[in-house]
């Protein structure tokens, strides 16, 4: 369904991605783990061209392109098949909850307003916010704002949803409500790529774990093997720190 090969990305003299390959099949929940600065978010942003990789290729169903040469038409085609959920919600402060969800449909995808509104309401019902349609972001908790971000992603009916540390900006007591929504999507077979520091959540929902460090993929595999029987020393060190924090 989705494959990225030999992805390289530099910011100035700093090489953030050093030849990364990643593959996502329909229905996968691929969770990308790793220490801060390992390249996780950059990799995620390269998938739908929020960052343009310097080198590498992308295959997304019938789209096959070189990152450095991708045309505007190809980039738009990738973005129509994917949706991005940001760390810091990315909502318009001057628009209501419903307007935030329908804006991309009406402006970006030229969906008639009536259909966009119906679609937006269904998406907000799915994340438990049908009673907040006319609220503004400032009237919502952080968890509610992030659920609006997820509803906005769902509304465009993407083939894959990309989550960039969706709980990192939340107070600890609000993390659970967002993770519960993502769990529900996982149970429904939604294809997702999730960058997160929520290790217990990753172990619970991931069909495939990718562990990154210093711009490379160090180890990958199913969740049970990754957490219970890691093969690489760097992975073992990372998991030991996690377990130490949990004690």
Please provide the DSSP assignment of 100-167 as one string. HHHHIIIIIS---HHHHHHHHHHHHHHTT-TT-TT--GGGS-HHHHHHHHHHHHHHT--SEEEEESTT
Please state, in angstroms and rounded to a whole number, the distance separating the CA atoms of residues 242 and 85.
Answer: 25
For residue 82, the tally of other CB atoms under 10 A from its CB is: 21
- pLDDT on residue 246: 54
Exposed / middle / buried, residue 3 (Cβ in 10 Å: 0-12, 13-18, 19+): middle
Share of residues in the chain with pLDDT > 70 (%): 98
Do the domain assignments include residue 185? yes
Do the domain assignments include residue 182? yes
- pLDDT on residue 57: 98
Closest CA to 156 of 120, 186, 191, 193: 120
- The residue-averaged pLDDT of 141-154 equals 96
* Residue pLDDT, tens place only, 77-123: 999 999 999 999 989 999 999 999 999 999 989 999 999 999 999 99
In the predicted structure, residue 242 carries a pLDDT above the cut 80: no
- The residue-averaged pLDDT of 144-150 equals 96
In the predicted structure, residue 141 carries a pLDDT above the cut 90: yes
Compute CA distances 85 → 149, 190, 237, whole Å: 6, 14, 29
Residues 6+ apart with CB under 8 A from 233: none
Tokens of 244: 């130490």
Query: Residue holding tokens 């377990």?
Result: 243
- CATH code of residue 201: 3.40.50.300
SS3 state of residue 53:
coil
Do the domain assignments include residue 217? yes
Nearest-Å Rg of the Cα atoms of the chain is: 18
* Residue pLDDT, tens place only, 212-241: 999 999 999 999 999 999 999 999 999 987
3 Rama class: left (phi>0) / alpha (psi -120 to 50) / beta: beta
Do the domain assignments include residue 125? no
- In DSSP terms, 57 is beta-bridged to 5, 66
Please state, in angstroms and rounded to a whole number, the distance separating the CA atoms of residues 77 and 98.
Answer: 25
Do the domain assignments include residue 102? no
- pLDDT on residue 247: 45
Length of the chain measured in residues: 247
Q: Are strands 208-213 and 55-60 parallel, antiparallel or unpaired?
A: unpaired
Do the domain assignments include residue 105? no
Quote the crossing angle between the two packed helices 142-155 and 172-187, to the nearest 10°.
20
Instruction: Characterize 28-40 residue by residue with b for buried, 16 or more Cβ atoms within 10 angstroms of its Cβ, and e for exposed.
Output: bbbbbbbeeebbb
Number of domains in the chain: 1
In the predicted structure, residue 52 carries a pLDDT above the cut 90: yes
Do the domain assignments include residue 123? no
Give me the domain span that covers residue 36. Answer: 2-90+162-244
In the predicted structure, residue 179 carries a pLDDT above the cut 80: yes
Do the domain assignments include residue 46? yes
Exposed / middle / buried, residue 104 (Cβ in 10 Å: 0-12, 13-18, 19+): middle
pTM: 0.94
């Amino acid at each position: 369904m989705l494959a990225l090969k030999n992805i390289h990305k530099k910011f100035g003299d700093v090489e953030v991605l050093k030849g990364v390959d990643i593959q996502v099949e329909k229905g996968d929940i691929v969770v990308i783990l790793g220490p801060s600065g390992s390249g996780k978010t950059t990799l995620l942003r390269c998938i739908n061209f929020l960052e343009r990789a310097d080198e590498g290729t992308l295959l997304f169903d019938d789209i096959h392109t070189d990152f450095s040469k991708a045309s505007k038409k190809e980039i738009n085609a990738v973005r129509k098949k994917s949706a991005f959920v940001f760390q810091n919600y990315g909502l318009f402060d001057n628009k209501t909850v419903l307007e935030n969800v329908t804006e991309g449909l009406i402006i970006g995808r030229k969906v008639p307003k009536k259909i966009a509104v119906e679609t937006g309401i269904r998406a907000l019902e799915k994340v438990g916010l049908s009673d907040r349609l006319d609220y503004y972001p400032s009237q919502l908790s952080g968890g509610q704002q992030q659920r609006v971000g997820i509803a906005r992603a769902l509304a465009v009916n993407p083939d894959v949803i990309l989550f960039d540390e969706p709980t990192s900006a939340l107070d600890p007591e609000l993390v659970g409500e967002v993770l519960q929504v993502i769990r529900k999507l996982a149970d429904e077979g939604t294809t997702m790529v999730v960058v997160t520091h929520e290790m217990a959540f990753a172990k619970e929902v991931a069909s495939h774990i990718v562990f990154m460090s210093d711009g490379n993929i160090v180890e990958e595999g199913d969740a049970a093997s990754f957490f219970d029987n890691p093969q690489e020393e760097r992975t073992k060190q990372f998991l030991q720190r996690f377990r130490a924090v949990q004690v």
